[in-house]
Amino acid sequence: MRAPAAQPDTEPNHAMQLDLTFQLTLQGRFRDLALWLPVPQDTPHQRRLALESAGNHAGLALHRDPQHGAPILFVRWPGVQDDPRLTVATHMETQAVNCDLAQARADAPLPDDARRYLEASAHLPVAGAVRSRAEAITQGLDSPADKLRALYGWVLAHAQRRFDVAWCGLGDVPAMLAAGEFCGKCVDINSLLVALCRAAGLPARTVLGIRAAPSRFDPALGAAGDVTQALHTRAEVYLGGLGWVPADPADALKLADAGAPDALQREVNAYLLGGAEANWVAYNHARDFPLEPPAMGGPLNFFTAPYAETGGIPLTIEAGSPGYSIFSRPAGS
């Protein structure tokens, strides 16, 4: 029997406050340990109200990558350190998003900071096969909103979730196109939408974050407590008159895989084009970018989990690694 979904306030402007706590406790002796940690960004729909830290580190500073402005907490344990530990608590306020695509303005000028999200990157191509497919899907359509509707509908109809893909996937659109299979997890499926949108002339980006509270629709779309493995990536597409509009075909497909009733699937499919619940916290929209300060390992595909190096050698820390956890709870509870 499917568990009933929690039912928070469903008003369009619903906001919530929550505490998101990152904990890292490593066992053993490490030399010149450095850690780059993603922390939530400030956006029109979320604010980082407080950030506190504790641990046995020697240095800690908040940086931003120069390309996307992703907030990066850089932590150092210089020399030799036994059993490094770190706790970072963020107090967040998040807001639901509801965009009416009918209000988009095709004649609105495109701001310079949106133009960069028309460009290709290593995992998000805009030419060749992806452009041909985007042009075929949007043929005969003039307005950006109509193009977005068509591309979103195409991804819903043709993409599939693959349960053997680790975590959220890699978002490697060239590999998906080469294989001829539009399969994967949230990073893969929403990266496909982003690449198609860019190829069709719509600025688009993946936004990487974490589920931090229950969903009003279904337990598959959100929970609280131990959220270490609750990473989730959305897409955003820029439309004149509206700004950055959320689009999440990956979660629509996840709900179908969870066995939700057809009526609920149709409701969520429509809602996730322009709408987003307040139960998710965005880290950043950085893809194929160098960390700040620079890491020996070079650029990252994306940044949702801590990246660490000991003596300049990468150290794997991910969901499931011993001593790494993230907890979420409603503020004040």
Both tokens of 72, joined, read 């990066």
3-state helix, strand, coil split of the chain in percent (to 5) is: 25, 35, 40
52: enclosing H helix or E strand: strand 46-55
Selected residue with higher pLDDT from 244 and 223: 244
Q: Is the pLDDT of residue 258 over 90?
A: no
3 confidence band (pLDDT: 50, 70, 90) = very low
Least Cα distance to 208 among 258, 179, 265, 248 occurs for 248
Least Cα distance to 205 among 153, 165, 247 occurs for 247
194 confidence band (pLDDT: 50, 70, 90) = very high
Least Cα distance to 222 among 39, 8, 29 occurs for 8
Cα distance between residue 305 and residue 226, in whole Å: 15
pLDDT digits (tens, 9 = 90+) for 163-177: 666 667 777 898 888
Domains of the chain: 15-94+286-330 (2.60.120), 97-277 (3.10.620.30)
Return the top range by mean pLDDT from 144-148, 155-159, 302-306. Answer: 144-148
Asked if 151 contacts 133 with a C-beta cutoff of 8 angstroms, the reply is: no
Looking at residue 165, its pLDDT comes to 67
Average pLDDT over residues 3-21: 61
List the single range of 84-93, 173-182, 288-297 with lowest mean pLDDT.
173-182
SS3 assignment, position 191:
helix
pLDDT digits (tens, 9 = 90+) for 78-90: 999 999 999 999 9
| Alpha helix positions (H), the chain | 112-115, 129-137, 144-158, 173-179, 186-199, 249-257, 262-271
Looking at residue 1, its pLDDT comes to 32
Specify the residue for token string 């190829």.
199
Sheet-wide strand order for 204-211: 243-247, 231-239, 204-211, 280-284
Q: Is the pLDDT of residue 330 over 50?
A: yes
SS3 assignment, position 33:
strand
